[in-house]
Amino acid sequence: MANTPGGAAALPSVDRVLRLPAIVAMIESHGRVAVTEAVRSTLAALRAAMIRGAASGPREILDRDIVVRVDATLAKVVAPTLRPVFNLTGTVLHTNLGRAPLPESALAAIVDVARGASNLEFDVASGRRGDRDSHIDDLVCRLTGAGAATVVNNNAAAVLLTLNSLANRREVIVSRGELIEIGGAFRMPDIMARAGSRLKEVGTTNRTHPGDYESAIGPRTAALMKVHTSNYVVHGFTAEVTERELSGIAHRHGLPLIVDLGSGSLVDLRRFGLPYEPTVADVLSAGADLVTFSGDKLLGGPQAGIVVGRPDIVARIKRNPMKRALRVDKMTIAALSSVLRLYLDPDRLPERMPTLALLTRSPAELRALAERIAPPVRSRLGNIATVEIEPCRSQIGSGSLPVESLDSTALTIRPTVPRREQGAALNRIVAAFRTLPLPVIGRVQNGAFQLDLRCLVDETRFVAQLAPLNFHTGSDR
């Protein structure tokens, strides 16, 4: 033990701590540099605490106390900050929680190319340099009917690159009702400005007519653009110009029609019992010259922005020097191409594609799951709260089908403490679930903590990690 009298001088040296058997074991696991830094940080914190408390006299510091503190300090340093969580929010494609879960085939594809060299930009047949887009463009074109395709790191990048390539220092006409803001306060007008394009708004918030576009076209017009309002819906006295109408206007004036579709659905979701969402093929067949969409929304793949359309326009986009700055890496291409291949067999998509599997879970399945896991949750919460099985509504999320929701089942946790203490008790419960080994993220609604079970797949792991909750009589404070 380190018990030399004299306040701060009672602490051992860094070298002495590094020779302790438990610390030596940490060095074997984490390396000398990281452990030495943790020891120094721990001793500095103890020294400062002893100096602050010097008036009460020196305190004995045991070696095991130092080891525990070093271990805790080291754990914070080496622990990854990006880690899995249970998404029980009721939003399947949750932007803050990583959007679409990848299928096993995509995970295997990532591992295969990540281990070593790959033909990312090498044509094995000819022995010459290749194009990384070649691994996805044939698949995308086959699935959408497009003439050509390219891929960048997200859909905002796809829009930025497209506008910079086609409309730098020129005008792009967009309906005022489609000037969307997406998550994180990113707004379409701002993206257009950064692309070097000049926005020309037409119509009003709720009504835009074909004549509005016709009268706005001038010598500086580079393109007409339609933005799918995937994260909101305007009801009531409304009017909008369809892609087919808009493409006719654009082509009469020799202009391209760009459609930012966003959600990226490649199949008609109605075949799986879900609400209709426009597919990329639908928009192209309506006359769009270029369509941009996301890879990690309804498509069910990794984060990516995909551009499809006329070969001559896609070729211009690929020649833009910004394309290199926005390109995706080999792991994204491996995952995306793997996901796209699953669409070649659409009948089996729900069993192979996690996103569709989650969206199509039956109410009976979710109810049975709730009945199995409710008892262990109740047993850990003790007398601080009730746990009830209740119907709820899930949403697809990430700007997909914003007003549509799905029947689901939730565990609803309500504090049973006096009314004036309920807010604090609810906060403690929510925080306790977040601090589990695999954090559980739910939603707070109407004074209760609700765990929507639609996205709970690993039931065994969820139940096995509940022990640390410890909300029994007298232990919840």
Q: What is the pLDDT of residue 60?
A: 66
Domain, as residue range, for 344 = 104-349
Classify residue 475: in a domain, yes or no: no
Minimum mean pLDDT range among 144-148, 161-165, 171-175, 186-190: 186-190
Please state the separation of Cα 150 from the chain's center in Å.
Answer: 22
Chosen domain end from 327, 349, 371: 349
Q: Is 345 exposed, middle or buried (0-12, 13-18, 19+ CB in 10 A)?
A: exposed
Domain total in the chain: 3
Minimum mean pLDDT range among 197-206, 328-337, 409-418: 197-206
Q: Are residues 303 and 403 in the same domain?
A: no
Q: Are residues 273 and 410 in the same domain?
A: no
Give the residue among 115, 35, 118, 20 at the shortest CA–CA distance from 71. Answer: 35
Q: Are residues 430 and 320 in the same domain?
A: no
Q: Are residues 234 and 333 in the same domain?
A: yes
Q: Are residues 285 and 158 in the same domain?
A: yes
* DSSP β-bridge partners for residue 406: 394
* pLDDT at position 185 over 70: no
Residue type, 203: G
Cβ count within 10 A of residue 195:
20
CATH of the domain at 296: 3.40.640.10
Q: What is the pLDDT of residue 397?
A: 83
DSSP assignment letter at 469:
G
Q: What is the pLDDT of residue 58?
A: 47
H/E element holding 346?
A: none
Classify residue 377: in a domain, yes or no: yes
* pLDDT at position 333 over 50: yes
pLDDT tens digits, 45-88: 998 888 877 544 445 678 889 999 999 999 888 889 999 999 99
Classify residue 266: in a domain, yes or no: yes
Question: In the predicted model, what is the mean pLDDT of the chain?
Answer: 91
Chosen domain end from 349, 368, 392: 349
Q: How far apart are CA 32 and CA 119, in angstroms?
A: 38
Q: What is the pLDDT of residue 61?
A: 77
On the CB side of 127, how many CA atoms lie within 13 Å of its CA? 0
Q: How far apart are CA 396 and CA 387, in angstroms?
A: 25
Instruction: Give the confidence band of 403 by pLDDT, cuts at 50, 70, 90.
Output: low
Q: What is the pLDDT of residue 187?
A: 82
Instruction: Give the confidence band of 398 by pLDDT, cuts at 50, 70, 90.
Output: low
pLDDT tens digits, 434-477: 999 999 999 999 999 999 999 999 999 999 999 989 775 444 44
Q: Are residues 168 and 311 in the same domain?
A: yes
Classify residue 477: in a domain, yes or no: no
Q: Are residues 133 and 268 in the same domain?
A: yes
Report CA-CA distances (Å) from 360 to 68, 130, 230, 390, 405. Answer: 47, 40, 20, 19, 12
Q: What is the pLDDT of residue 5?
A: 44
Render 208-262 in DSSP notation, one character per residue: --HHHHHHH--TTEEEEEEE--TT----SS-B---HHHHHHHHHHTT--EEEEEE
User: What percent of the chain has pLDDT above 70?
Assistant: 92
Residue type, 215: S
Q: Are residues 149 and 298 in the same domain?
A: yes
Q: What is the pLDDT of residue 477?
A: 43
pLDDT tens digits, 103-136: 999 999 999 999 999 999 999 999 999 999 999 9
pLDDT tens digits, 67-76: 999 999 998 8
Q: Are residues 237 and 383 in the same domain?
A: no
Q: What is the pLDDT of residue 59?
A: 57
Classify residue 231: in a domain, yes or no: yes
317 neighbors 307 (Cβ within 8 angstroms): yes
266 neighbors 280 (Cβ within 8 angstroms): yes
Q: How far apart are CA 320 and CA 170, in angstroms?
A: 16
Chosen domain end from 349, 367, 391: 349
On the CB side of 423, how many CA atoms lie within 13 Å of its CA? 1
Classify residue 216: in a domain, yes or no: yes
- How many helices (H) and strands (E) are present in the chain, helices listed first? 19, 17
Residues 6+ apart with CB under 8 A from 395: 90, 91, 92, 401, 402, 404, 405, 406
Classify residue 381: in a domain, yes or no: yes
Q: How far apart are CA 213 and CA 245, in angstroms?
A: 11
Q: Are residues 146 and 201 in the same domain?
A: yes
Q: What Rg do the C-alpha atoms of the chain give, in angstroms?
A: 28
Q: Are residues 52 and 113 in the same domain?
A: no
Q: Are residues 287 and 431 in the same domain?
A: no
For the segment 330-359, the average pLDDT, to the nearest whole number, is: 97
Q: What is the pLDDT of residue 49?
A: 85
CATH of the domain at 447: 3.90.1150.180
173 neighbors 340 (Cβ within 8 angstroms): no
Q: What is the pLDDT of residue 165?
A: 97
Instruction: Give the confidence band of 8 by pLDDT, cuts at 50, 70, 90.
Output: very low
Instruction: Tell me whether strands 186-187 and 181-182 are parallel, antiparallel or unpaired.
Output: antiparallel
Classify residue 371: in a domain, yes or no: yes
Q: How far apart are CA 229 and CA 316, in angstroms?
A: 27
